[in-house]
Amino acid sequence: MPSNEDRQRAASARTGWALSAPALLLLGFAASGPLLIVLVYSFLTPGDYGNVVWKFSLDGWRGILFTRDIFDGTLHLADANLTIFWRSVKLSLLTTAITFAVGFPTAWFIATRPAKSRALWLFLITIPFWTNLLIRTVAINEVIRNEGIINTLLIWTGLITEPLRIIYTDTAVLIGMAYVYLPLMVLPLFAAIDRFDMKLLEAGYDLYASRWQVLRRVILPIVKPGIVAGSILVFVPSLGAYVTPRVLGGGKNMMIGNFIELQFGAGRNWPLGAALSMTLLIIVTIALLIYVRAANRGSPHG
């Protein structure tokens, strides 16, 4: 005979699933479920006018790294694709590094404010976080483009005569991504520093540590879970970025996100687009697993 506790547990599970069902159905229909279709499409043959022909093929996956020679059918490394991957990874890593370099002092500053003003500073970092990414991209675009604010000011002061060409370069994309993703770095760093016991600093100084040593040996190791969280939160959307490289990079400085779109548009290679999407998803999943492991390892301290 089932015990009372077992029966209660079973009832709890039934209600839990029943109440969650509408949300799960909605997400299955318009978020998670369609991902399986992308997986299937990555193994099909491209149709002549886009879409696919239902014939199994590995060309989508092969096309990520290789191109087939149109004359003799041999496979070559696809240099154009490699350039795009390399740009995506490089810019995402640089974005992560830059946002950390300026985000850590910012998070530290917020966390060490008196309790009252801390909420306000935090709110100030949260507003851009929730503000339209496109609007922020437009805003930074107005600053760096040829007739933008920086160039207008520099020409007006006579420091330069020709506008600095920043827009439509990798640098523009990098500036844009660092700008739009910075709050994603600051928020988890703040959360980690906020839990940090400031008495440890006094202990460090009492033991004659310099500020640099305290930072290196005391602060950074303890707030490491926050650093990992912030880095992943910046790296993941940077790698999949679409809007920022499209607006600031122009047509040429593509990243993976734009390359995927190209396959579903002018490229007319849906299986390749699907395979690229799956690759991006796999990389992101690995990054998130690293994050979960780091977060679990960090929790006994915090």
Is 63 a residue that touches other proteins (CB under 8 A)?
no
| One of 154, 164, 166, 281 touching other proteins (CB under 8 A) | 281
Q: What is the DSSP string of the chain?
A: ---HHHHHHHHHHHHHHHHHHHHHHHHIIIIIHHHHHHHHHTTSEEPBTBSEES---SHHHHTTTEEE-TTT--EEE-HHHHHHHHHHHHHHHHHHHHHHHHHHHHHHHHHTS-HHHHHHHHHHHHHHHHS-HHHHHHHHHHHHSTTSHHHHHHHHTTS-SSPP--TTSHHHHHHHHHHHHHHHHHHHHHHHHHHS-THHHHHHHHTT--HHHIIIIIIHHHTHHHHHHHHHHHHHHHHT--HHHHHHSTTTS--HHHHHHHHHTTT--HHHHHHHHHHHHHHHHHHHHHHHHHHHHHTTT-
Under the binding rule (CB under 8 A), the answer on residue 221 touching other proteins is no
Nearer to other proteins among residue 75 and residue 124 (C-beta): 124
Q: Is 102 in the site for other proteins (CB under 8 A)?
A: yes
- The answer to whether residue 218 forms part of the interface with other proteins (CB under 8 A) is no
Stretch that binds other proteins, among 61-69, 71-79, 90-98, 232-240 (CB under 8 A): 232-240
Closest distance to other proteins from the beta carbon of 86 (Å):
18
Among 164, 205, 267, 302, binds other proteins (CB under 8 A): 205
Q: Does 296 bind other proteins (CB under 8 A)?
A: no
Q: Which stretch binds other proteins (CB under 8 A): 60-68, 70-78, 223-231, 276-284?
A: 276-284
- Which residue from 60, 88, 98, 145 is in contact with other proteins, where contact means CB under 8 A? 145
Beta carbon of residue 296, minimum distance to other proteins (angstroms, whole number):
13
213 contributes a contact to other proteins by CB under 8 A: no
Q: How far is the CB of 47 from other proteins (least distance, A)?
A: 12
